[in-house]
Protein backbone atom coordinates (compact mmCIF):
# COMPACT_ATOMS: atom_id res chain seq x y z
CA UNK A 1 0.00 0.00 0.00
CA UNK A 2 1.23 3.55 -0.64
CA UNK A 3 2.38 5.45 2.43
CA UNK A 4 -0.20 7.69 4.07
CA UNK A 5 0.41 10.50 6.52
CA UNK A 6 -2.22 11.20 9.15
CA UNK A 7 -2.55 14.30 11.29
CA UNK A 8 -2.57 14.45 15.06
CA UNK A 9 -2.67 17.06 17.81
CA UNK A 10 -0.70 16.47 20.99
CA UNK A 11 -1.97 18.04 24.22
CA UNK A 12 0.37 18.13 27.23
CA UNK A 13 -0.43 18.72 30.91
CA UNK A 14 0.95 21.76 32.66
CA UNK A 15 4.37 21.29 34.20
CA UNK A 16 7.24 19.03 33.24
CA UNK A 17 7.07 15.49 31.87
CA UNK A 18 7.67 12.90 30.77
CA UNK A 19 3.97 12.13 30.74
CA UNK A 20 1.85 9.08 30.10
CA UNK A 21 -0.15 9.57 26.90
CA UNK A 22 -3.46 8.36 25.47
CA UNK A 23 -3.98 8.22 21.70
CA UNK A 24 -7.62 9.10 20.94
CA UNK A 25 -9.05 7.57 17.76
CA UNK A 26 -12.42 8.82 16.44
CA UNK A 27 -15.16 6.75 14.86
CA UNK A 28 -17.09 6.82 11.60
CA UNK A 29 -18.03 10.51 11.81
CA UNK A 30 -14.43 11.66 12.22
CA UNK A 31 -13.02 13.99 14.87
CA UNK A 32 -15.77 15.66 16.90
CA UNK A 33 -15.73 18.15 19.79
CA UNK A 34 -16.28 15.20 22.15
CA UNK A 35 -12.91 13.73 21.15
CA UNK A 36 -11.06 16.99 21.72
CA UNK A 37 -12.86 17.30 25.07
CA UNK A 38 -11.07 14.10 26.14
CA UNK A 39 -7.82 16.05 25.97
CA UNK A 40 -9.10 18.47 28.62
CA UNK A 41 -10.09 15.64 30.95
CA UNK A 42 -6.84 13.73 30.49
CA UNK A 43 -4.43 16.67 30.74
CA UNK A 44 -6.18 17.90 33.88
CA UNK A 45 -5.42 14.45 35.34
CA UNK A 46 -1.74 14.73 34.36
CA UNK A 47 -1.97 12.52 31.24
CA UNK A 48 -1.03 13.73 27.76
CA UNK A 49 -3.46 13.18 24.89
CA UNK A 50 -2.90 12.80 21.16
CA UNK A 51 -6.07 13.12 19.04
CA UNK A 52 -5.52 11.73 15.56
CA UNK A 53 -7.49 12.44 12.38
CA UNK A 54 -7.48 9.31 10.18
CA UNK A 55 -9.82 10.90 7.61
CA UNK A 56 -8.41 14.20 6.38
CA UNK A 57 -5.37 13.13 4.37
CA UNK A 58 -7.27 10.10 3.01
CA UNK A 59 -9.96 12.33 1.54
CA UNK A 60 -12.65 10.75 3.73
CA UNK A 61 -15.37 12.77 5.46
CA UNK A 62 -17.45 9.94 6.94
CA UNK A 63 -17.54 6.13 6.84
CA UNK A 64 -21.07 5.92 8.25
CA UNK A 65 -22.60 4.74 4.96
CA UNK A 66 -19.52 2.95 3.63
CA UNK A 67 -16.88 1.48 5.96
CA UNK A 68 -14.80 0.14 3.07
CA UNK A 69 -13.24 3.48 2.10
CA UNK A 70 -10.10 2.33 3.87
CA UNK A 71 -9.39 -0.85 5.75
CA UNK A 72 -9.75 -1.69 9.42
CA UNK A 73 -6.20 -3.02 9.21
CA UNK A 74 -5.08 0.50 8.27
CA UNK A 75 -7.00 1.88 11.27
CA UNK A 76 -5.06 -0.42 13.59
CA UNK A 77 -1.79 0.49 11.91
CA UNK A 78 -2.56 4.20 12.46
CA UNK A 79 -2.51 3.55 16.21
CA UNK A 80 0.83 1.74 16.20
CA UNK A 81 2.44 4.28 13.86
CA UNK A 82 1.27 7.12 16.11
CA UNK A 83 2.70 5.34 19.16
CA UNK A 84 6.04 4.95 17.37
CA UNK A 85 6.17 8.71 16.79
CA UNK A 86 5.09 9.63 20.31
CA UNK A 87 7.78 7.60 22.09
CA UNK A 88 10.40 9.75 20.33
CA UNK A 89 8.93 12.84 21.99
CA UNK A 90 10.94 14.02 25.01
CA UNK A 91 7.78 14.79 27.01
CA UNK A 92 6.30 11.29 26.61
CA UNK A 93 6.98 8.28 28.84
CA UNK A 94 7.48 5.42 26.37
CA UNK A 95 6.44 2.84 28.98
CA UNK A 96 3.02 4.44 29.50
CA UNK A 97 1.39 4.75 26.08
CA UNK A 98 -2.31 3.95 25.86
CA UNK A 99 -4.95 4.16 23.15
CA UNK A 100 -8.65 4.98 23.34
CA UNK A 101 -10.98 4.44 20.40
CA UNK A 102 -14.63 5.16 19.72
CA UNK A 103 -16.80 2.94 17.47
CA UNK A 104 -14.57 2.23 14.44
CA UNK A 105 -11.75 3.70 16.50
CA UNK A 106 -12.59 1.21 19.26
CA UNK A 107 -12.04 -1.59 16.77
CA UNK A 108 -8.74 0.03 15.81
CA UNK A 109 -7.29 0.12 19.33
CA UNK A 110 -8.36 -3.45 20.09
CA UNK A 111 -6.76 -4.71 16.87
CA UNK A 112 -3.66 -2.63 17.54
CA UNK A 113 -3.30 -4.29 20.95
CA UNK A 114 -3.38 -7.70 19.24
CA UNK A 115 -0.98 -6.64 16.47
CA UNK A 116 1.53 -4.85 18.67
CA UNK A 117 3.38 -8.00 19.90
CA UNK A 118 3.70 -9.51 16.41
CA UNK A 119 4.13 -6.87 13.69
CA UNK A 120 7.48 -5.58 14.92
CA UNK A 121 6.92 -1.96 13.87
CA UNK A 122 10.18 -0.19 14.56
CA UNK A 123 10.08 1.93 17.73
CA UNK A 124 6.38 1.13 18.39
CA UNK A 125 5.96 0.20 22.05
CA UNK A 126 3.66 -2.44 23.41
CA UNK A 127 0.56 -0.51 24.40
CA UNK A 128 0.18 -0.28 28.17
CA UNK A 129 -3.62 -0.18 27.97
CA UNK A 130 -6.53 0.32 25.59
CA UNK A 131 -10.02 1.65 26.25
CA UNK A 132 -12.54 0.66 23.59
CA UNK A 133 -15.75 2.68 23.68
CA UNK A 134 -18.66 0.97 21.88
CA UNK A 135 -16.28 -0.77 19.46
CA UNK A 136 -17.54 -2.49 16.32
CA UNK A 137 -16.49 -6.08 16.96
CA UNK A 138 -17.82 -7.86 13.90
CA UNK A 139 -14.24 -8.66 12.91
CA UNK A 140 -11.95 -10.18 15.53
CA UNK A 141 -8.73 -12.14 15.76
CA UNK A 142 -9.36 -15.86 15.96
CA UNK A 143 -6.76 -16.21 18.70
CA UNK A 144 -6.32 -12.74 20.18
CA UNK A 145 -3.19 -12.08 22.20
CA UNK A 146 -2.77 -8.63 23.66
CA UNK A 147 0.34 -9.51 25.65
CA UNK A 148 0.57 -7.36 28.77
CA UNK A 149 -1.87 -4.73 27.52
CA UNK A 150 -4.74 -3.96 29.92
CA UNK A 151 -8.05 -3.86 28.04
CA UNK A 152 -11.42 -2.34 28.89
CA UNK A 153 -14.47 -2.28 26.61
CA UNK A 154 -17.69 -0.35 27.26
CA UNK A 155 -20.97 -0.22 25.35
CA UNK A 156 -24.61 0.73 25.86
CA UNK A 157 -27.43 -1.81 25.95
CA UNK A 158 -29.44 0.22 23.38
CA UNK A 159 -26.60 0.29 20.84
CA UNK A 160 -27.96 -0.23 17.30
CA UNK A 161 -24.56 -0.16 15.58
CA UNK A 162 -22.55 -2.67 17.59
CA UNK A 163 -23.59 -5.86 19.33
CA UNK A 164 -22.75 -6.00 23.05
CA UNK A 165 -22.38 -9.79 22.86
CA UNK A 166 -19.59 -9.45 20.30
CA UNK A 167 -17.85 -6.88 22.47
CA UNK A 168 -18.04 -9.22 25.48
CA UNK A 169 -16.23 -11.99 23.61
CA UNK A 170 -13.16 -9.77 23.40
CA UNK A 171 -12.63 -9.98 27.13
CA UNK A 172 -9.65 -12.13 27.99
CA UNK A 173 -6.23 -11.70 29.57
CA UNK A 174 -6.30 -8.59 31.78
CA UNK A 175 -9.59 -7.35 30.34
CA UNK A 176 -12.87 -5.99 31.63
CA UNK A 177 -16.25 -5.10 30.18
CA UNK A 178 -19.01 -2.75 31.24
CA UNK A 179 -22.55 -2.45 29.88
CA UNK A 180 -24.28 0.90 30.37
CA UNK A 181 -28.08 0.69 30.79
CA UNK A 182 -30.50 2.72 28.64
CA UNK A 183 -27.59 3.98 26.56
CA UNK A 184 -27.14 4.40 22.80
CA UNK A 185 -24.10 4.37 20.54
CA UNK A 186 -21.69 7.32 20.93
CA UNK A 187 -23.03 7.93 24.41
CA UNK A 188 -20.18 10.28 25.28
CA UNK A 189 -20.89 12.87 22.57
CA UNK A 190 -22.83 15.10 24.99
CA UNK A 191 -25.53 15.50 22.35
CA UNK A 192 -29.23 14.54 22.31
CA UNK A 193 -30.15 11.18 20.83
CA UNK A 194 -30.59 11.49 17.05
CA UNK A 195 -31.17 9.18 14.13
CA UNK A 196 -28.42 8.87 11.50
CA UNK A 197 -30.57 7.70 8.58
CA UNK A 198 -27.79 6.69 6.15
CA UNK A 199 -25.90 4.57 8.68
CA UNK A 200 -25.20 1.11 7.26
CA UNK A 201 -25.33 -1.33 10.19
CA UNK A 202 -25.63 -5.07 10.78
CA UNK A 203 -25.10 -5.60 14.51
CA UNK A 204 -26.48 -9.15 14.58
CA UNK A 205 -24.50 -10.57 11.66
CA UNK A 206 -21.99 -13.40 12.23
CA UNK A 207 -18.53 -12.48 13.47
CA UNK A 208 -15.75 -12.63 10.89
CA UNK A 209 -12.51 -13.91 12.39
CA UNK A 210 -8.95 -13.09 11.37
CA UNK A 211 -6.57 -16.05 11.21
CA UNK A 212 -3.01 -15.95 12.56
CA UNK A 213 -1.64 -15.20 9.08
CA UNK A 214 -4.06 -12.31 8.51
CA UNK A 215 -6.50 -14.18 6.26
CA UNK A 216 -10.20 -13.76 7.07
CA UNK A 217 -12.23 -16.82 8.03
CA UNK A 218 -15.46 -17.00 6.03
CA UNK A 219 -18.35 -17.36 8.49
CA UNK A 220 -20.13 -19.90 6.26
CA UNK A 221 -17.24 -22.18 5.26
CA UNK A 222 -15.26 -21.77 8.48
CA UNK A 223 -12.07 -21.69 6.41
CA UNK A 224 -9.42 -18.97 6.20
CA UNK A 225 -9.42 -17.58 2.68
CA UNK A 226 -6.87 -14.95 1.53
CA UNK A 227 -9.22 -14.06 -1.34
CA UNK A 228 -12.02 -13.18 1.09
CA UNK A 229 -11.29 -9.49 1.68
CA UNK A 230 -12.47 -6.98 4.28
CA UNK A 231 -14.74 -5.44 1.65
CA UNK A 232 -16.23 -8.87 0.88
CA UNK A 233 -16.87 -9.40 4.59
CA UNK A 234 -18.59 -6.04 4.96
CA UNK A 235 -20.79 -6.67 1.93
CA UNK A 236 -21.69 -10.10 3.32
CA UNK A 237 -22.65 -8.61 6.67
CA UNK A 238 -24.66 -5.72 5.22
CA UNK A 239 -26.53 -7.99 2.82
CA UNK A 240 -27.26 -10.55 5.50
CA UNK A 241 -30.74 -10.55 7.07
CA UNK A 242 -29.28 -8.33 9.81
CA UNK A 243 -28.18 -5.49 7.53
CA UNK A 244 -30.22 -2.29 7.49
CA UNK A 245 -30.02 1.48 7.26
CA UNK A 246 -30.43 3.91 10.14
CA UNK A 247 -29.18 3.93 13.73
CA UNK A 248 -29.23 6.30 16.69
CA UNK A 249 -26.36 8.03 18.44
CA UNK A 250 -26.02 10.31 21.46
CA UNK A 251 -26.86 10.44 25.15
CA UNK A 252 -25.52 12.34 28.14
CA UNK A 253 -21.75 12.02 28.49
CA UNK A 254 -20.32 9.36 30.78
CA UNK A 255 -16.65 10.00 31.56
CA UNK A 256 -16.19 8.72 35.11
CA UNK A 257 -15.48 5.17 33.92
CA UNK A 258 -12.97 6.40 31.35
CA UNK A 259 -11.01 8.52 33.79
CA UNK A 260 -11.00 5.85 36.50
CA UNK A 261 -9.54 3.37 34.00
CA UNK A 262 -6.78 5.65 32.73
CA UNK A 263 -5.82 6.89 36.19
CA UNK A 264 -5.24 3.27 37.25
CA UNK A 265 -3.79 1.86 34.02
CA UNK A 266 -1.25 4.65 33.41
CA UNK A 267 -0.31 5.49 36.99
CA UNK A 268 3.46 5.88 37.48
CA UNK A 269 5.18 2.70 38.71
CA UNK A 270 5.88 2.66 42.43
CA UNK A 271 9.58 2.92 43.21
CA UNK A 272 11.01 -0.29 44.60
CA UNK A 273 11.96 -0.23 48.23
CA UNK A 274 15.62 -0.89 48.91
Query: Mean pLDDT across the chain, nearest whole number?
Result: 87
For the entire predicted model, the pTM comes to 0.86
pLDDT in tens, 56-86: 899 898 888 888 888 888 899 999 999 999 9
The domains found in the chain, sorted by start residue, are 7-191+252-265 (3.40.50.1820)
C-alpha closest to that of 187 among 266, 98, 129, 252: 252
CB-based contact 180:187 (threshold 8 Å): yes
Q: What share of the chain is helix, strand, coil (3-state, %, to 5)?
A: 25, 30, 45
Q: What is the pLDDT of residues 111-159, one digit of tens each?
A: 998 887 666 556 667 899 999 999 988 888 887 778 888 999 999 999 9
Confidence band for 173, pLDDT divided at 50, 70 and 90: low
Q: Are 184 and 193 in contact (CB under 8 A)?
A: yes
DSSP state of 71: -
Q: What's the CA angle centered on 161, arms 185 and 152, to 5 degrees?
A: 60
Residue 171 has pLDDT above 70, yes or no: no
The enclosing H or E element of 112 equals: helix 104-119
Q: How many DSSP H helices and E strands does the chain contain?
A: 6, 13
Spatial separation of the C-alpha atoms in residues 99 and 78, rounded to whole Å: 11
Lowest mean pLDDT among 12-16, 23-27, 202-206, 226-230: 202-206
- Residues near 101 by beta carbon (within 8 Å), at least 6 away in sequence: 24, 25, 27, 79, 107, 108, 109, 110, 130, 131, 132, 133, 135
- Alpha-carbon distance 78 to 236, whole Å? 26
Amino acid sequence: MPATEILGSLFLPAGEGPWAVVIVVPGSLGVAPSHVAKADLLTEAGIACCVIDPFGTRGVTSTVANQAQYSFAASAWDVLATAAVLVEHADIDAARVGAQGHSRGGSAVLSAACLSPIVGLERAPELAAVYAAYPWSGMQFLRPDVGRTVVRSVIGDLDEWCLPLQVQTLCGCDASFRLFPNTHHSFDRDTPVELVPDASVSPGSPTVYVNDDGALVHPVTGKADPCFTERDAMIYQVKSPYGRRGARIGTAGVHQDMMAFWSAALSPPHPRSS
